Amino acid sequence: MTVEIGLLEVSVEVLKLAVILGVVQFLTSLWISERLRTSLQKEHSQFLENLKWELKVREQAVRVAEYLALARNLKEESSDLDYRKANQLSWELAMWLPENIYKEMVRAIASPDKKTNALSTVLSVRELLLQEKSGNLTTEDIAHHAPRCGK
């Protein structure tokens, strides 16, 4: 009888230990699973933020290019629609671009010179939008089209 009671006590202790280990294993797996899920959510959120920024970069680059092309070619006989579009783009860019780049863009349209012109503005905006990915483009590297441009 003593042997049976001792064996039963050992079996109960082993069972308790097995239950405790099972609970610890279950809780550990839950903890690891939650950490992994949180980590993946964070990566996913960062990826989405980067994607949104890329889209914003492209949209703003299009607006700057559109404004520069339109404003440079405005003439006294240009349509009211062209002037309205130029003003809309200019005002949108005034709300978005940093002060120094916006002023450079305005000077490039109002009184361009070798240092401040449409192409230098394109490079400034490129640097702002692409940051370290902007590379080493110069105004000489950017294609520019005009009548008799190559002569």
pLDDT of 127 strictly over 80: yes
20-51 confidence digits (pLDDT tens): 999 999 999 999 999 999 999 999 999 999 99
Reading the block at residue 142, the tokens are 């950017």
C-alpha 98 chain-centroid distance: 17
Q: Give the pLDDT band (50/70/90) at residue 102.
A: very high
In a domain, 52, yes or no: yes
Between CA 17 and CA 26, with CA 20 as vertex, the angle to 5 degrees is 140
Judged on CB neighbours under 10 Å (0-12, 13-18, 19+), 107 is middle
Total domains present in the chain: 1
Query: What predicted TM-score, i.e. pTM, was given to this entire model?
Result: 0.63
In a domain, 86, yes or no: yes
Q: Which domain holds residue 71?
A: 2-134
In a domain, 146, yes or no: no
In a domain, 94, yes or no: yes
Residue 6's pLDDT is: 62
Judge whether 123 and 135 are in contact, CB under 8 Å.
no
Q: Please state, rounded to an integer, the average pLDDT across all residues of the chain.
A: 88
In a domain, 149, yes or no: no
60-95 confidence digits (pLDDT tens): 889 999 999 999 889 999 999 999 999 999 999 999
